[in-house]
Amino acid sequence: MLSPGVFFRTPIPDYDAIELSITPLTGIDLPGQASGFVRIGVWELDSRRADFGGFSAILVTDDGAVRAFSDRGKHLTFTAPGHTATRAPLYQTIDRGGLSNRKPDIESATGDPATGDYWLGIEQFHSLIRFSADGEYEAARAPSEWQGWDMNAGAEAMARLPDGRFLVLPEGRRTGLLYPSDPVGKIAPTRFTFAVPGGYSSTDMAALPDGRVLILLRQIAWGIPPFESALAIADPATIADGGSLDIDLLIDLDTIVPSENYEGLALAGDAGDGAVHLWLIADDNLASFQRTLLVHLAWREDAVALPPGSTHEKARGEP
**CA torsion through residues 193, 174, 201, 140, sign:** positive
**Residue 12 pLDDT grade (very low, low, confident, very high; cuts 50, 70, 90):** very low
Comparing CA positions, the residue from 44, 49, 81, 53 lying closest to residue 66 is 81
- C-alpha pair distances (Å), 266 with each of 69, 139, 182: 12, 23, 19
Whether the model clears a pTM of 0.75, i.e. scores above it, the answer is yes
Dihedrals φ, ψ of 29, to 5°? Answer: -90, 60
Please tell me the predicted confidence (pLDDT) of residue 101. Answer: 63
Flag the least confident range among 23-37, 192-206, 230-244, 250-264. 230-244
Percent of the chain's residues with pLDDT above 70: 88
- Domains recognised in the chain with CATH numbers: 38-299 (2.120.10.30)
Q: For the segment 280-300, what is each residue's pLDDT rounded down to a tens digit?
A: 999 998 787 899 999 999 999
Q: What's the CA gap between 135 and 170, in Å, rounded?
A: 25
Q: What is the pairing mode between strands 190-194 and 244-245?
A: parallel
The whole-number pLDDT of residue 122 equals: 92
Q: For 126-145, what is the mean pLDDT? A: 93
What integer pLDDT is reported at residue 187 of this predicted model? 94
